[in-house]
Amino acid sequence: MSVKLYLAGPDVFLPDAREIGRHKRQMCREAGFEGLFPLDNDDALANDPAAIFATNCAMMRQADLGVFNLTPFRGPGADGGTAFEQGYLFARGKPVFGYTADARPYCQRVPPISTASGPRRDADGLLIEDFGLFDNLMLARAIAESGGTLSAMASADGRTDPAAFDAFAACLDAVAAFLRHRAL
Protein backbone atom coordinates (compact mmCIF):
# COMPACT_ATOMS: atom_id res chain seq x y z
CA MET A 1 0.00 0.00 0.00
CA SER A 2 1.38 3.38 -1.00
CA VAL A 3 1.52 6.16 1.55
CA LYS A 4 -1.39 8.50 0.79
CA LEU A 5 -0.75 12.25 0.54
CA TYR A 6 -3.61 14.73 0.61
CA LEU A 7 -2.68 17.41 -1.95
CA ALA A 8 -4.27 20.64 -0.76
CA GLY A 9 -3.98 24.08 -2.27
CA PRO A 10 -5.57 26.72 -4.43
CA ASP A 11 -4.54 24.67 -7.47
CA VAL A 12 -8.22 23.88 -8.03
CA PHE A 13 -8.77 27.56 -8.90
CA LEU A 14 -5.96 27.81 -11.47
CA PRO A 15 -6.79 27.94 -15.17
CA ASP A 16 -5.29 24.51 -15.81
CA ALA A 17 -6.42 22.87 -12.58
CA ARG A 18 -7.07 19.42 -14.03
CA GLU A 19 -3.67 19.22 -15.70
CA ILE A 20 -1.95 20.44 -12.53
CA GLY A 21 -3.74 17.76 -10.53
CA ARG A 22 -2.75 15.06 -13.02
CA HIS A 23 0.87 16.23 -13.02
CA LYS A 24 1.12 16.37 -9.22
CA ARG A 25 -0.46 12.95 -8.82
CA GLN A 26 2.03 11.62 -11.38
CA MET A 27 4.93 13.15 -9.44
CA CYS A 28 3.58 11.42 -6.33
CA ARG A 29 3.44 8.06 -8.12
CA GLU A 30 7.03 8.48 -9.31
CA ALA A 31 8.06 9.09 -5.69
CA GLY A 32 6.18 5.98 -4.54
CA PHE A 33 3.17 7.81 -3.06
CA GLU A 34 -0.49 8.06 -3.86
CA GLY A 35 -1.63 11.66 -4.24
CA LEU A 36 -5.22 12.50 -3.30
CA PHE A 37 -6.29 15.68 -5.10
CA PRO A 38 -9.48 17.51 -4.06
CA LEU A 39 -12.33 17.23 -6.45
CA ASP A 40 -13.53 20.83 -6.50
CA ASN A 41 -13.66 20.76 -10.24
CA ASP A 42 -15.00 17.27 -10.77
CA ASP A 43 -18.04 17.56 -13.00
CA ALA A 44 -20.27 15.32 -10.94
CA LEU A 45 -19.69 17.39 -7.82
CA ALA A 46 -19.16 20.78 -9.41
CA ASN A 47 -22.42 22.32 -8.30
CA ASP A 48 -22.76 20.80 -4.86
CA PRO A 49 -20.59 22.37 -2.16
CA ALA A 50 -21.89 19.92 0.47
CA ALA A 51 -20.74 16.97 -1.65
CA ILE A 52 -17.35 18.57 -2.35
CA PHE A 53 -16.91 19.24 1.37
CA ALA A 54 -17.81 15.67 2.31
CA THR A 55 -15.49 14.27 -0.37
CA ASN A 56 -12.57 16.44 0.69
CA CYS A 57 -13.05 15.51 4.36
CA ALA A 58 -13.24 11.81 3.46
CA MET A 59 -10.00 12.13 1.47
CA MET A 60 -8.31 13.88 4.40
CA ARG A 61 -9.37 11.11 6.76
CA GLN A 62 -7.93 8.53 4.32
CA ALA A 63 -4.64 10.38 3.94
CA ASP A 64 -1.52 9.47 5.89
CA LEU A 65 -0.23 13.02 5.69
CA GLY A 66 -0.93 16.36 4.07
CA VAL A 67 1.04 18.35 1.51
CA PHE A 68 -0.16 21.95 1.31
CA ASN A 69 0.41 24.52 -1.43
CA LEU A 70 0.70 27.64 0.73
CA THR A 71 1.69 29.99 -2.10
CA PRO A 72 -0.12 33.32 -1.52
CA PHE A 73 -3.60 33.43 -3.03
CA ARG A 74 -5.44 36.74 -3.65
CA GLY A 75 -3.35 38.49 -1.01
CA PRO A 76 -0.13 37.97 0.93
CA GLY A 77 -1.21 34.75 2.65
CA ALA A 78 -2.31 31.20 1.92
CA ASP A 79 -5.77 30.33 0.59
CA GLY A 80 -8.32 30.09 3.40
CA GLY A 81 -9.70 26.73 2.33
CA THR A 82 -6.18 25.31 2.30
CA ALA A 83 -5.50 26.74 5.77
CA PHE A 84 -8.75 25.18 7.02
CA GLU A 85 -7.64 21.79 5.70
CA GLN A 86 -4.23 22.16 7.30
CA GLY A 87 -5.92 22.74 10.66
CA TYR A 88 -8.19 19.76 10.06
CA LEU A 89 -5.35 17.33 9.31
CA PHE A 90 -3.14 18.70 12.08
CA ALA A 91 -5.96 18.23 14.61
CA ARG A 92 -6.26 14.62 13.49
CA GLY A 93 -2.59 14.08 14.32
CA LYS A 94 -1.34 13.78 10.74
CA PRO A 95 2.01 15.26 9.70
CA VAL A 96 1.54 18.39 7.58
CA PHE A 97 4.08 19.55 4.99
CA GLY A 98 3.98 22.90 3.23
CA TYR A 99 5.41 24.32 0.03
CA THR A 100 5.32 27.74 -1.54
CA ALA A 101 6.64 29.53 -4.60
CA ASP A 102 7.04 32.70 -2.52
CA ALA A 103 10.19 32.32 -0.46
CA ARG A 104 9.85 35.68 1.33
CA PRO A 105 8.95 35.87 5.02
CA TYR A 106 5.45 37.22 5.62
CA CYS A 107 6.74 40.53 6.93
CA GLN A 108 8.29 41.20 3.52
CA ARG A 109 5.10 40.38 1.65
CA VAL A 110 3.14 43.27 3.18
CA PRO A 111 4.33 46.86 2.64
CA PRO A 112 4.70 48.62 6.00
CA ILE A 113 3.93 52.23 6.69
CA SER A 114 6.76 54.15 8.24
CA THR A 115 6.37 54.69 11.95
CA ALA A 116 8.72 56.18 14.47
CA SER A 117 8.37 53.24 16.83
CA GLY A 118 6.25 50.24 17.70
CA PRO A 119 5.50 47.15 15.65
CA ARG A 120 5.25 47.25 11.85
CA ARG A 121 1.77 47.97 10.52
CA ASP A 122 0.29 48.12 7.03
CA ALA A 123 -1.57 51.07 5.50
CA ASP A 124 -4.79 49.96 7.22
CA GLY A 125 -3.09 49.97 10.62
CA LEU A 126 -3.09 46.17 10.78
CA LEU A 127 -0.16 44.54 12.54
CA ILE A 128 2.29 42.75 10.25
CA GLU A 129 3.20 39.50 11.99
CA ASP A 130 6.96 39.56 12.14
CA PHE A 131 8.40 36.29 13.41
CA GLY A 132 10.42 35.67 10.26
CA LEU A 133 7.89 32.97 9.36
CA PHE A 134 6.51 32.56 5.84
CA ASP A 135 2.85 33.07 6.88
CA ASN A 136 0.61 33.26 9.95
CA LEU A 137 2.28 31.49 12.87
CA MET A 138 -0.50 28.91 13.21
CA LEU A 139 0.28 27.60 9.72
CA ALA A 140 4.03 27.74 10.19
CA ARG A 141 4.12 26.20 13.66
CA ALA A 142 1.70 23.38 12.78
CA ILE A 143 4.15 22.21 10.13
CA ALA A 144 7.04 22.19 12.60
CA GLU A 145 5.05 20.67 15.49
CA SER A 146 3.73 17.84 13.34
CA GLY A 147 7.22 16.86 12.20
CA GLY A 148 6.77 18.29 8.71
CA THR A 149 8.85 20.81 6.83
CA LEU A 150 8.23 23.84 4.64
CA SER A 151 9.73 23.89 1.16
CA ALA A 152 9.90 27.54 0.05
CA MET A 153 11.37 28.11 -3.35
CA ALA A 154 10.90 30.78 -5.95
CA SER A 155 10.52 29.30 -9.41
CA ALA A 156 13.68 28.84 -11.42
CA ASP A 157 12.58 31.40 -14.01
CA GLY A 158 12.05 34.05 -11.32
CA ARG A 159 8.28 34.23 -11.87
CA THR A 160 5.86 33.07 -9.21
CA ASP A 161 4.31 29.79 -10.32
CA PRO A 162 1.01 29.52 -8.44
CA ALA A 163 1.18 25.72 -8.73
CA ALA A 164 4.71 25.90 -7.23
CA PHE A 165 5.94 22.77 -9.00
CA ASP A 166 9.60 23.29 -8.03
CA ALA A 167 8.74 23.65 -4.36
CA PHE A 168 6.31 20.72 -4.63
CA ALA A 169 9.12 18.48 -5.92
CA ALA A 170 11.30 19.56 -2.99
CA CYS A 171 8.42 18.89 -0.62
CA LEU A 172 7.97 15.33 -1.93
CA ASP A 173 11.69 14.77 -1.26
CA ALA A 174 11.16 16.05 2.29
CA VAL A 175 8.21 13.69 2.78
CA ALA A 176 10.31 10.76 1.55
CA ALA A 177 13.12 11.68 3.96
CA PHE A 178 10.64 12.00 6.83
CA LEU A 179 9.21 8.55 6.13
CA ARG A 180 12.65 6.95 5.80
CA HIS A 181 13.66 8.48 9.11
CA ARG A 182 10.48 7.31 10.81
CA ALA A 183 10.94 3.78 9.46
CA LEU A 184 14.44 3.46 10.94
Q: Which residues bind a copy of itself (CB under 8 A)?
A: 10, 12-15, 17, 40-41, 49-50, 52-53, 56, 73-81, 83-92, 110, 121-122, 124-127, 129, 131, 133, 135-142, 144-145, 162
3-class SS at 145? helix
CA 48 – CA 148 distance, rounded (Å): 33
**Smallest distance, Å, CB 52 to a copy of itself?**
6
DSSP assignment string, 123-142: TTS-B---SS-SS-HHHHHH
Nearer to a copy of itself, 1 or 50 (CB): 50
Nearer to a copy of itself, 32 or 75 (CB): 75
Nearer to a copy of itself, 70 or 167 (CB): 70
**Smallest distance, Å, CB 180 to a copy of itself?**
26
Closest-CA residue to 104 (of 33, 167, 49): 167
Strand partners, 67: 7, 97
CA 160 – CA 103 distance, rounded (Å): 10
Nearer to a copy of itself, 91 or 184 (CB): 91
**Smallest distance, Å, CB 125 to a copy of itself?**
5
**Smallest distance, Å, CB 158 to a copy of itself?**
17
Whether 10 contacts 42, CB under 8 Å: no
